[in-house]
Chains A and B, each alone.
Chain A
Amino acid sequence: MKALEQLKDTLKSKFGGNIIKFESPLEDRLFVDVKKEGVKGVCKELFTQGGRYLVGIGYDNTKRDNTLGMIHTFAFDKDSTVICVRAWVPENDPVMDSITPDVPNAGWSEREYMDLLGMKFTGHPKPKRLVLSDDWPEGIHPLRKEVPYNLVPPPAENVAYQMDECPEGCSVVPVGPFHPSLHEPNHWSIFVDGETIKGCDYRGFMTHRGIEKLCTTQVSYNEVPFIAERICGICGSVHATAYAQCVEMVADLKISRRAEFIRTIMLEIERLHSHLLWLGVAGHLIGFDTVFMQSWRIREDIMWLCEKWTGNRKTYGMIVVGGVRRDITPELKDDMLRVLKKVEEECIVVHKAIIGDTTIHKRTKGVGYMTHEEAVQWSIVGPPARARGVDIDVRRDHPYAAYDAVKFDVPVVDTNDVWGTVVVRILEIFEAIKIVRQALDQLPEGKIITEMDDVIQSQRHAISHVEAPRGESVHYVISGDENRADRWRVRAPTYPNLQGVPTMLLNDQFADFPIILGSIDPCFSCTDRVQVVDIKSGKVNVMNQRDLERMSRRA
């Protein structure tokens, strides 16, 4: 940790007056409390020192000392450290310097807390609404503690998000909010000159449902893993693991080694199915449905294996705070090895069949170009970063669960385009199989769940990150009273990657838009049922199957 000490010294000598204290509850975590005047300088320093921006966490602290808190977090991958810069602003004057001009990826984090907490960031280049819906009334900030979790403000009419002005000489092509090539609702304005994309604006968060608020007001610690798992339909265990690790950190709980190994196996099996799923979707987006059919056929064996082991094809519900719920029996181990062998053989066939295919090359090489420097600047994570020569992988750089006990390679290529992403993800399939085999081999004996005797102390901070198939998920927990967290922040891998998409789109053909967006494997969210809103009366009817049938028959 020599580098960390050096960094501490630099910060002390440069911003001595603005730094309140350093705190290091764990060897690889450093919390720096900073006066609000020093935030901009400290963050800029950390970013230029090679820190990768993770996420900003805003929280309401009014009950304790009438302040709103803002935490900027940076990962130092070479030193396996995470540094959190904590600052507070008074509730009646919540103004802070924006760090977005220096750290572009912080843009969304700051915009989010303009909406949710009513903070103000001076010097933010694009202080537009991000999370809240267009007709959400001004002045109500849902993440403030006094706002109830089930508040439903009256809907307003004739309000719409103003997309950015189209540059001169370009025309606008709207994509979304619902579009066949995008699987979830999101709205893009693409500015094109002929067929070439010259810029874009994005409006998303259409399915923002306030999970963080819900989980910090209604449910208790050990129910959240099951809600966390439903944040993402593909990498559910990742979110549950990241959350569970956070709570284990604030509780000083060390889970059994066997549970750590089972978590590792679970995460890698999830990665396997996710990579195969993405490969299929990517094939489908470029009109190559053979890949789609075949990779999903191979994936089916993994789904059945999971069904047998965890009780479901997806949303495995395996991870709870303190361990895992189901053990690996010897029969299951044999089953797993058999399925892995089959999947590996079939993946080799697919790999060989598509790696030399000129159609795929033509559709993906040079498409979605983004330089290495830009990828670092935008803090891109996961396969899109590794396709641009950024050698990061949380599993190797910040080992969690049992990743310190297994050996694997991190495939990195420097083609800087969508093709690189395809290659990285295919190679990762084989690495994942390697990891599961090693973990099964070394699986130690022991219990799978560690019980907790003490109540978790209030106001402790923890940050944990987990490598999801599509990037890096970051969770931040501030413990609270009543057996639940005071603040829980989730950052899915799409959050930073989507902010980099405008750079990838620039000067590409409009027809390549679906695959460029698809290359980051965007994960928005899904609505649960059909809602019909009568615009005149504002009445909401939830329709069931019979109503829909009746309607469709009439038509």
Chain B
Amino acid sequence: MWLTSKVKQVLMVIKPGVVTLKYPFEPHPAPENFRGRPHWDHHKCVGCGACSNHCSARCILVRDTCQELRIMLYDGSRCTYCGRCADVCPEKAITMSQEFENATGDREDITERIELFMLTCQRCGRCYDMENTNALERLDLRGYRYDSLEARALIRKTTEHFDPNVLKETEKYQRPTKL
């Protein structure tokens, strides 16, 4: 019993042989549908902020520095690569790439930042795809937003009209540390 088991185990090991890949000495490309590091196409992006609202890791931030200028910042150091941003983008401006070698000592390497010149929609102000039927995907943050790019934090405060005071306030934002 003992011996037959051992013989079977030897055969089980010998048959497949060595299966270790040569990676990283040889490239090992990811499949086509891979959810790698997301990329923004600044030509297509309209700055609606849907990606930011649906990012469960809260790593896409929106800051309005004035009425016309909106900065979108993607901080890859906290990204979970779920790909929701690419799903909800109404303009298909976000694509999940095949890049998976994202380890770095400097988070700026995996930060993407776009500055957008914004116009205000005559019909609905600044908002995204209000015809979106799914009640679960309504935006809970609309209008002008002032996330802290310095602290890389989402600030749950929006205003209907651009407010320089709120902008100034949020500059001093710090993450909570102690009671």
A425 vs B87: C-alpha distance when bound (angstroms): 36
Q: Which stretch in A32-40, A52-60, A317-325, A378-386 binds the other chain? A: A317-325
Q: Does A198 contact B (CB under 8 A)?
A: no
Where the two chains meet, the residues of A that have a C-beta atom closer than 8 Å to any C-beta of B are 148, 150-154, 218-224, 226-227, 230, 290, 293-294, 297, 300, 304, 307-312, 315, 317, 321-322, 325-326, 349-350, 352-354, 356-359, 451-456, 482-483, 544-546
B175 CB to closest chain A CB, in angstroms? Answer: 8
Shortest CB–CB separation between residue B121 and chain A, in angstroms?
Answer: 22
Judged by a CB distance under 8 angstroms, whether B33 is at the interface is: yes
Interface centre among B5, B83, B96, B105 (most CB of A within 10 A): B5
Whether B177 contacts A152 by the Cβ 8 Å rule is yes
Please name all residues of chain A whose beta carbon is closer than 8 Å to the beta carbon of B175 when the two chains form the complex: 150
What are 16 A-B contacts defined by CB distance under 8 Å?
Answer: A151-B176, A152-B176, A152-B179, A224-B56, A227-B56, A230-B80, A294-B13, A308-B33, A309-B33, A311-B34, A311-B35, A315-B80, A349-B15, A353-B5, A357-B2, A453-B133
A-B interface, 9 closest residue pairs, ranked by CB to CB distance from nearest: A311-B35, A353-B8, A223-B56, A357-B5, A226-B56, A545-B105, A222-B136, A308-B31, A451-B134
Q: How far is the CA of A546 from the CA of B103 in the complex (A)?
A: 12
CB distance from B153 to the nearest CB of A (A): 10
Interface presence of B135 (CB below 8 A): yes
Q: Which of B138-179 contact A (CB under 8 A)?
A: 138, 140, 156, 175-179
Known: A227-B56, A312-B34, A317-B82. A454 touches B135 (CB 8 A): yes
Contact between chains at A356 and B135 (CB < 8 Å): no
In the assembled complex, the Cα of A311 lies from the Cα of B83 at a distance in Å of: 9
Cα separation A322 to B134 with both chains bound (whole Å): 9
Q: A205–B139 Cα gap in the complex (Å)?
A: 34
B9 near A290 with CB under 8 A, answer yes
Alpha-carbon distance between A125 and B21 when the two chains are bound, in angstroms: 54
Q: Does B122 contact A (CB under 8 A)?
A: no
A158 to B104, CA, bound (A): 38
Taking Cβ atoms with an 8 Å cutoff, the residues of B that contact A are 1-2, 4-6, 8-9, 11-13, 15-16, 19, 30-35, 54-56, 58, 80-84, 87, 96, 103, 105, 133-138, 140, 156, 175-179
* Given A222-B54, A312-B35, A317-B82; A452-B16 close (CB under 8 Å): no
A428 to chain B minimum Cβ distance, whole angstroms, is 20
Interface centre among B6, B9, B87 (most CB of A within 10 A): B9
Q: Considering the chains assembled together, what is the distance between the CA atoms of A537 and B176 in angstroms?
A: 18
Q: How long is the Cα–Cα vector from A297 to B13 in the complex, in angstroms? A: 10
Instruction: Tell me which residues across on chain A come within 8 A of B9, comparing CB atoms.
Output: 290, 353-354, 357
Whose C-beta in chain A lies nearest to the C-beta of B19? A297
B83 touches A317 (CB 8 A): yes
Known: A297-B16, A311-B96. A222 touches B137 (CB 8 A): yes
